[in-house]
Amino acid sequence: MVINPRAGGAGLSSDLPPFIVSTDCFSSFPTGNVAESSLLSVAPPGISLEDASHIAKRVFGVSGEIRILSSERDSNFYIRLTSGEQALLKITNVAENRDVTAMQTAALAHIAAVNPSLPVQRICQTLSGEPWEMIEGPSGQEHVARLLTFIDGTMLHAATPRSTVYQGIGVLLAQLTKALRGFFHPAAGHALQWDIKHAGRLRPMLEAVENSDLRKRLALLLDRFDAEIAPQLPRLRTQIVHNDFNPHNLVVDRVDASRLTGIIDFGDMVHTPIICDLAVACSYHITDDAEPLRRAADIVGGYFSVLPLDEEELTLLPDLIRLRHLTTLAITSWRARRYPENASYIMRNAAASLRGLDVIDQIGAATTAQVLRAAALSAKQEHVQ
């Protein structure tokens, strides 16, 4: 493990703890947490602002202005130090598999080592020199506490992006995928419901989808997944990927966005076909205008310019995008019914998912594949020139 002597970089003063930069596979957390299968049904840790402030000071030696941030599973806190530097205190859900949390932490340290130019958060060490510490929550259960750097800027979902941003999404995702290509962790094979390759497990959740016609459409799509798509996935290139490249996890330079400046939230990392990762990114950028696939095509073109795709991957891409929409609609409907007080946050992507599903259903998977393939080939020709 390599630890940067100063969080601010060589020769720069910083009130943040030093960063951890490493290509080592961190050892796992102590066992004893709730089974991972219950993660979707366990509420966030419920850490108060006062407790978060004490944890930040006692464990990491930092203090300052602190406020709570919205999160579906964890307790997250923004901290502005007196120096003006910013940090994120992350208290992980007790149901999160601790080996998975160790994997996410190690991945950020790995990226910092192999491609430090990628705009991802850095892991700050504890006062005892570790990447994390176990803390006790209000219910008496133990949670993982980590301090990360905070990437300031405007979130993509709150911006009005220029057209060039979409190609940039593809480029940045491909660069991140390449940076993670040499990374592996024993927890990478965990079963995550947001992983498209596990779409077949969503059937029990469909009963929470209130619209009966939509529920039938989703059931038919799962039938197609089981019969035709799932059997093809083992033949595709796989590795550990981000798996949640959505507009709530991408930071841009300003409201009138011209470029991406940050990637956050590696909480859905998993070992899966890389084309599933690209499908997730594309799924959030299908529109209802005259060119509904234009943004997704730009993303595919940008990705292909850095990391070319196989023909089989391109052919499956539209169906995988639809399956991401299905996943969003099924899981968010199920969770919103279980946690009505947080329903607006949980359902924030439902309308876009329904729109994306409608568009591909109307255009057709084969025609959608042709459009995305053309964008990929165009990017290839531009790269050769």
The pLDDT value recorded for residue 41 is: 56
pLDDT band at 14 (very low <50, low <70, confident <90, very high): confident
pLDDT of residue 31: 53
- Grade residue 10 by pLDDT with cuts at 50, 70 and 90: very low
For residue 137, the model assigns a pLDDT of: 86
Least confident of 67-71, 275-279, 317-321, 356-360: 67-71
Beta strands in the chain (DSSP E): 2-3, 19-21, 64-69, 75-81, 86-91, 123-124, 133-136, 142-149, 154-155, 238-241, 250-252, 260-263, 270-273
Start-to-end CA distance of the chain, whole Å, equals 42
CB atoms within 10 A of CB 33: 22
Question: Measured between alpha carbons, how far is 80 from 276 in angstroms, rounded to an integer?
Answer: 36
**Residues 166-197 pLDDT 10s:** 999 999 999 999 999 999 999 998 889 999 99
- The pLDDT tens digits for 227-251 are 999 999 999 999 999 999 999 999 9
CB-hemisphere CA count at 13 Å for 334?
Answer: 18
Average pLDDT of the segment spanning 201-217 = 96
Q: Provide the pLDDT for residue 195.
A: 97
Most confident of 37-46, 138-147, 315-324, 331-340: 315-324
- Which letter does DSSP use for residue 343 in this model? H
**What percent of the chain shows pLDDT beyond 70?**
91
Amino acid at 47: I
C-alpha separations of 247 from 67, 244, 313, 357 in Å: 22, 9, 23, 18
Mean pLDDT of 23-30: 67
Residue 12 has pLDDT above 80, yes or no: no
Which tens digits make up the pLDDT trace of 334-352? Answer: 999 998 988 888 888 899 9
